[in-house]
Amino acid sequence: MEKNCLKKSLFKDSRIEDLDAHEDGQTFILKIEHRQNASWQGELTWTDRKESMKFRSELELLRMIESAYEEEYSDVEQASS
């Protein structure tokens, strides 16, 4: 993919729609934009909620994923109560 070409909307991509067809778990798309100071910087997209978040380190990335799972499972537990 060339840097100069226009990006299509991430969620209009049919490959992304296929990822949303799962029943269990969560789906994320990870885009590493830079690697500095022995760490990654980039963007994490949570396809189930169509939300994107920037991260500055691997630790921050892992915390985002953990937070997303905790949020999702707390919603499920509240719905079943």
Give the CB-side neighbour count of residue 7, counting CA atoms within 13 A: 4
pTM here?
0.62
Instruction: Let me know if residue 3 belongs to a domain.
Output: no
Buried b (16+ CB within 10 A) or exposed e, 8-39: eeeeeeeebeeeeeeeeeeebeeeeeeeeeee
Instruction: Let me know if residue 6 belongs to a domain.
Output: no
**pLDDT grade, residue 32 (50/70/90)?**
very high
**pLDDT grade, residue 60 (50/70/90)?**
very high
**pLDDT grade, residue 48 (50/70/90)?**
confident
Instruction: Let me know if residue 37 belongs to a domain.
Output: yes
Instruction: Let me know if residue 59 belongs to a domain.
Output: yes
Using CA atoms, how far apart are residues 43 and 31, in angstroms rounded to an integer? 5
The count of domains in the chain is 1
Which residues constitute the domain of residue 60?
Answer: 11-80
Using CA atoms, how far apart are residues 42 and 56, in angstroms rounded to an integer? 7
